[in-house]
Structure 1
């Protein structure tokens, strides 16, 4: 019989700046205690950047627009998917040194073992990023 994988953890949050902190706390708080010292800070930063981008660039400004987060472990990684109802495709930017923003995906690219952007089946976009961890950590 095959091993049954863990069930992913889901959250739905309003597309509001206050959701960034809530998302970060929820995601890092869901890590097993033994992994928090190894992954907590990086996963918290990934969460903050992806949720901030989803709110700024993917939400349409209506109350019903929610940001969805999914967290799951698979094949030596913790995967985080952050989805929004927007139709745009996030891309890496290389802002000038004096730019005040535009570095979120650069941080994601630096921290994540792998990341990608996927369209959602009905509407919206998901950014999926994975952080590697050692089994038994």
Structure 2
């Protein structure tokens, strides 16, 4: 008999800066206690960066936009998808030393084992990042 997979955890938050903290907290609380010391900080930072980017760059500004998060374990990783209604494709930037922004995806790229950007089937974009939950040696 095949192993039954975990059901992904799903959240929706308003496209508002206060949602960054709420999203980070929700993701951290959903991790099994045993994984929090190994994965909690990195996953929290990835969550913060992706939700912040979604709010800044992926909303239409109509006041009712939502940011969606899905978290699930698979293949030795915790996968986080952050989706927004925008149609843009986030890309790695290389900001100058004096720049005050533009480093979010650089952080995601350095922490995640893999990440990608995918269009959503109906409307919007998802950024998906996977962080290994195998103990680091």
- TM-score of the aligned structures, taking structure 1 as reference length: 0.97
SS in structure 1 of the partner of residue 92 of structure 2 = coil
Deviations 1:42-101 (A, max 9, x none): 000000000000000001112221000000000100000000000000000000000000
Paired residue for 1:90?
Answer: 90
Could you list the structure 1 runs, at least 4 aligned residues long, displaced by more than 2 angstroms after superposition. Answer: none
Alignment of 1:59-98 (within 5 A): 59-98=59-98
SS in structure 2 of the partner of residue 55 of structure 1 = helix
Paired residue for 2:108?
Answer: 108
User: Does structure 1 residue 5 correspond to structure 2 residue 5?
Assistant: yes
Deviations 1:26-46 (A, max 9, x none): 001100000000000000000
User: Does structure 1 residue 40 correspond to structure 2 residue 29?
Assistant: no
SS in structure 1 of the partner of residue 16 of structure 2 = coil
Paired residue for 1:122?
Answer: 122
Gaps spanning 5+ residues in structure 1: where? none
Paired residue for 2:55?
Answer: 55
How many residue pairs get aligned? The number is 135
